[in-house]
Amino acid sequence: MANGIQSLDPNLQWLMENFDTADKDEIDFRIWLAGVGEKTGMPYDPDHPENKYDYRAAFRAGDEPLLIPGDEDPDWEGIPYLLHHHWPSQHKEEDHPTEGAGEGIRGLLLSMKQRADAQKRREGRR
């Protein structure tokens, strides 16, 4: 949010700018991804170079993110992080931060814990 104005979902923005010239598959994809973004509360930019996920492949496969519990937050005495959304692993790029962590929630949570522990070490909190 900048200057009190919430930015438009990148997919809705794209649709406004390209609807007349885009092909039907891309329009369907952008409408679907905007809907997923609304459900999860997170707008997804499928063309952002840092997202490391193939949202178009997820769309073609009919996949959507699952709502899963987070890891425990040591600053909140064992209370789990809020639920968050996790996309199916088969559409991750090789350099995705959680690629190779193993399939399923156990692998995801292990990967999240490893990343959180590494961040704490970098910040000198451990």
Output the pTM of the full model: 0.62
Separation of alpha carbons 47 and 17, rounded Å: 15
Separation of alpha carbons 41 and 84, rounded Å: 10
What is the pLDDT, as a whole number, of residue 5?
A: 40
Residue-level pLDDT, tens digit, the chain, 126 residues: 343 344 678 888 899 999 999 999 999 999 999 998 888 877 888 988 888 889 999 999 999 887 776 655 555 455 455 566 778 888 888 877 765 555 555 555 555 665 666 567 667 754
Domain chopping of the chain, boundaries: 1-51, 62-126
